[in-house]
Amino acid sequence: MQVTKTVEETRKLIKNWKMEGKTIGLVPTMGFLHEGHASLIKKCREENNIVVVSDFVNPTQFGPTEDLEAYPRDFAHDSALCESLGTDLIFNPEPENMYIDPYTYVNIDVLSDTLCGKSRPIHFKGVCTVVSKLFNIVSPDKAYFGQKDAQQLAIVRKMVQDLNFDIQIVGCPIVREEDGLAKSSRNTYLSPKERQAALCLSKAVKKGQEVICEGAMAEEVLDEMCGVIKEEPLAKIDYVSMVDALTMQPVEKVEKDVLVAMAVYIGKTRLIDNFSFQM
Ligand code: AMP
């Protein structure tokens, strides 16, 4: 396994692999890798000759009051996990290798106006920019993203379509802890008490899935889910919403494929979870 820090050395390796006719898969991450990330890397390993994992805490997707500094990092652990999963290259740049102010940004309206985009106004502009850069640096055949960040996945799919990236986007299911909590690098912020309280998200997902299967309208589904979360004193709802799976715009009736997504503060930690419902 190789590790690169700069765009130039990464491009050189990619060029050689392409000349050998190899297919390339990319798994973009912010590091502090867990089994959720591992599931993407495994799928990428199955489907490509070369597996590239990017490990970069992207500053442009954090708001000024968010946890950029505190975001957990452990490159030794990440690198050992990637190696054990058969990764060929980890691209691990420093921010100064990626951004020189003033910068060119990629932005997508409408899809980023709701859900997490509403609470984190610059977040998806940073995501689209860094993902576009990674696509241009690595030029993968396929790129792997988790359903855990369902709005991000929808936005990346739309961006690829709109900007004509010749890349297949592969969505991968949410990996959970045994008790239901969606795996996340941010779970490390939780105290033991908060870790227990955080189960209200996956319980709300379960409740939502039950109610939606009985044919309920959006309002009823969301009320039931909010009811579950409000039983937990340490939880504070940022949003619980039902949106069209493609446009990310709110819906009242379940007539097309929908995404039911939430963000909930457990103490100071903001956690997300979601489920999709196909008609
Ligand atoms: P992050 O490092 O949090 O930016 O995540 C990198 C990629 O891993 C994103 O595509 C996430 O959606 C995906 N991911 C993170 N957690 C999970 C999980 N629990 N299950 C599946 N995919 C995940």
Taking the C-alpha atoms of residue 127 and residue 150, their distance in angstroms, rounded to an integer, is 13
Q: Is 37 one of the catalytic residues?
A: yes
Looking at residue 68, the DSSP 8-state letter turns out to be T
pLDDT for 57 equals 98
pLDDT for 77 equals 98
pLDDT for 192 equals 98
For residue 146, what is the enclosing H or E element? strand 142-146
pLDDT in tens, 160-198: 999 999 999 999 999 999 999 999 999 999 999 999 999
Please name which of 43, 58, 128 lies closest in space to residue 91, comparing C-alpha atoms.
58
Q: Is the CB of 184 under 6 A from ligand 1?
A: yes
Q: Is the CB of 212 under 6 A from ligand 1?
A: no
Q: What is the mean pLDDT of the chain?
A: 97
Please name which of 40, 20, 17 lies closest in space to residue 148, comparing C-alpha atoms.
40
Q: Is the CB of 142 under 6 A from ligand 1?
A: no
Backbone angles phi, psi at 278, to 5 degrees: -95, 135
Taking the C-alpha atoms of residue 117 and residue 46, their distance in angstroms, rounded to an integer, is 33
pLDDT in tens, 48-71: 999 999 999 999 999 999 999 999
pLDDT at 279 over 90: no
Distance (angstroms) between ligand 1 centre and the Cα of 42 equals 13
Please name which of 207, 260, 272, 278 lies closest in space to residue 235, comparing C-alpha atoms.
272
Residue owning the nearest CA to atom 14 of ligand 1 = 146
Distance (angstroms) between ligand 1 centre and the Cα of 79 equals 17
Taking the C-alpha atoms of residue 79 and residue 2, their distance in angstroms, rounded to an integer, is 10
pLDDT in tens, 70-105: 999 999 999 999 999 999 999 999 999 999 998 999
pLDDT for 139 equals 98
Q: Which atom of ligand 1 is nearest to the CA of 184?
A: 16
Taking the C-alpha atoms of residue 222 and residue 103, their distance in angstroms, rounded to an integer, is 39
pLDDT in tens, 6-35: 999 999 999 999 999 999 999 999 999 999
pLDDT for 70 equals 96
3-state secondary structure 15-64: HHHHHCCCCEEEEEECCCCCHHHHHHHHHHHHHCCEEEEEECCCHHHCCC
Q: Is the CB of 149 under 6 A from ligand 1?
A: yes
Q: Which atom of ligand 1 is nearest to the CA of 182?
A: 19
Residue owning the nearest CA to atom 13 of ligand 1 = 146
Taking the C-alpha atoms of residue 3 and residue 92, their distance in angstroms, rounded to an integer, is 7
Distance (angstroms) between ligand 1 centre and the Cα of 20 equals 30
pTM score, two decimals?
0.98
DSSP per-residue string spanning 229-249:
HHTSTTEEEEEEEEEETTT--
pLDDT at 115 over 90: yes
191: left (phi over 0), alpha (psi -120 to 50) or beta: beta
